[in-house]
A and B are shown apart, each in its own frame.
Chain A
């Protein structure tokens, strides 16, 4: 059976591959959405934090022999800690200013962080092997699926759903959401809003680092690896609607799949298709697919 000249198994395998990329988009755009939702900061440093997660994973393996599974926990913690520093020392001072200042500050930070790693490791990047447990591939009949990529999908969807649950369904999440709406009132109820904000930024940073660890065996670990991804991820957030948690997860996965199909039918457009969709969505629903008009 063929659809537009591509066999059905061919399409199925592209669907799966699209989901793998979509998982990265989902987890990164989720972090951006959480940070924007609570802090009103457009976090341009997200790509750099993602890269730090991957590079830390490489460093731990090569200097200390710490394996992938430990880093899956440790890298987000370390980068989360770094996030605390960024929020406490820098972002804190500009909340009262226009969004643009947050964007500029985090963009500057990105250039700084990437510059430091580039001067130490160069640009060709560092190779990171797939953890032994997930090496090899499974023959699904219609395609040959590397085990590691399947794991990426499972792990990131798990983390995304966990995050959505915490924010939408728990008491802590309710505080967070209330804090976004009216911080003063929430503070009046005896909740420490500044600490909550710091932790939110740290959590967003940790999510980026988690995606970084996941990506280390798939992509070449390189100081510039965040740059290519982050622009697409911003488009994902815009399409899904700024600040919408479920919106960014679903949009991330969906756009990954659409991009995957574009790679079959018209590969030359695969890097632009996301932006074309963004333009269309902005024209029809300026607040994004899942966003609420304010």
Chain B
């Protein structure tokens, strides 16, 4: 009896192994992001919703096949993201992997995508390594990266007269990289870095670090931290009157952070973002539709998720195939023009180059409607803020 069962199991197994080789009847997108923890307000399940909106707007079909979205919460663990990606490719024949926030998970998924030859998009993660030291022929890094944030904020603020900088830095790879990138830009533009203080991750109380920043007498306080650490630093800076004496800039910030802190705590703060919902008519149109469903305005990452999905589906249509090499070839030929990006191009290293913006948070009195938070100070041309060919170590772009 037992032997018969084993035989049956083996047969079923063999049949299971054979299925992926059968003709494809669906185009599947597999999306993992942080859906429950510290980054979930920036992208999270509303990122999945934006992707689904893009699929629906595309008509739900491409090349005559229905489009299906699979989602998973990677819980900020690289191994979960990687094994989910592997499982999706092996058992569901997913044709496009879509990674989310958290650079560790993003890099892990990029490796799986390269090994399995699947198109890999990411708009949530910040690490510039995705298209530099660890670039892959199948990666498209869509929204922003740490280099662009640092160059954008550093360059624009030094040019506007903020010459002396002090850094408040989260003491791990991400914060240190941001600080290093921004310091280089500040020095390159003729500014000086008068000091920095490194705080542990999840420090909760920042008053002590901020007093050190204040006594440095620098003109600009740059915060190279994110999420809860950033929010608590900004709150404490307001409390200790630092925002009156120093120009403050956050090197990684999103509209969801401003929303949760309120304008009173954040007014006057400058940072770089890739998109703002109220920047033009097309953006407002998308944002209002998004708001109907999510009851909050989209972050730049959620908008990028929509745009990236549409871009991928157009490329599949143009390639008349879901084969990763063919789709990537089409993607590199495309000019991306939609509400999110104007004249965007995907470089050989996988970087989608488009314009970013330096924004400033409005004063409470200047805000006339809900979510009316930013003034656009300056457009930052993509070819100036992203990594240049000379700086790049990516072997695909030589």
* A residues neighboring B (CB under 8 Å): 7, 10, 13-14, 17-18, 20-21, 118, 122-127, 129-130, 137, 143-144, 146, 148-149, 218-220, 222, 224-225, 228-229, 260, 263-264, 267-268, 270-272
Contact = CB atoms under 8 A, between A and B. Distances in A.
Contact of A118 (B36, B198, B208, B215): B36
A263 B209 contact: yes
B209 A267 contact: yes
Interface string B191-205: 000000111111111
A125 B260 contact: yes
B246 to A, nearest CB: 13
Given A220-B260, A268-B171, A149 B207 contact: yes
Contacts of B211: 10, 13-14, 17, 143
A123 B203 CA distance: 16
Contact of B208 (A7, A14, A229): A14
A13 B203 CA distance: 19
Interface stretch (B5-13, B233-241, B327-335): B233-241
A228 B205 CA distance: 10
Q: Which of B204, B215, B241, B264: most chain A CB closer than 10 A?
A: B204
A139 to B, nearest CB: 10
Given A122-B41, A267-B198, 18 more contacts: A10-B211, A17-B207, A20-B205, A123-B37, A124-B256, A124-B260, A127-B260, A127-B262, A146-B239, A218-B205, A219-B204, A220-B260, A263-B208, A268-B198, A268-B200, A270-B208, A271-B200, A271-B202
Given A222-B228, A260-B208, A148 B239 contact: yes
B337 interface: no
Interface residues of B, number: 38
B184 interface: no
Given A126-B260, A127-B262, A220 B200 contact: no
B311 interface: no
Contacts of A222: 228
Interface of B: 36-38, 40-41, 171, 197-205, 207-209, 211-212, 215, 227-228, 231-232, 235-236, 239-241, 256-257, 259-262, 264-265
A220 B231 contact: yes
B205 A21 contact: yes
A90 B202 CA distance: 32
Nearest to A129: B264
Q: Which of B211, B236, B261, B262: most chain A CB closer than 10 A?
A: B211
Given A17-B208, A127-B265, A228-B202, A220 B239 contact: no
Contacts of B197: 267
Contacts of A126: 260
A203 B269 CA distance: 42
Contacts of A14: 208, 211
Given A220-B232, A271-B200, A144 B260 contact: no
Contacts of B261: 127, 220
A13 B240 CA distance: 12
Nearest to A146: B239
Q: Which of B36, B228, B262: most chain A CB closer than 10 A?
A: B228
Contacts of B215: 7, 10
Contacts of A123: 36-38, 40-41, 228
A21 B236 CA distance: 13
Contacts of A124: 41, 227-228, 231, 256-257, 259-260
Contacts of A130: 239
Contact of A270 (B199, B228, B241, B257): B199
A7 B41 CA distance: 41
B204 A229 contact: yes
B80 to A, nearest CB: 18
A26 to B, nearest CB: 14
Contacts of B212: 263-264
Q: Which of B197, B199, B207, B256: most chain A CB closer than 10 A?
A: B207
B198 A220 contact: no
Q: Which of B38, B41, B240, B262: most chain A CB closer than 10 A?
A: B240
B202 A122 contact: no
A263 B200 CA distance: 10
B240 A264 contact: no
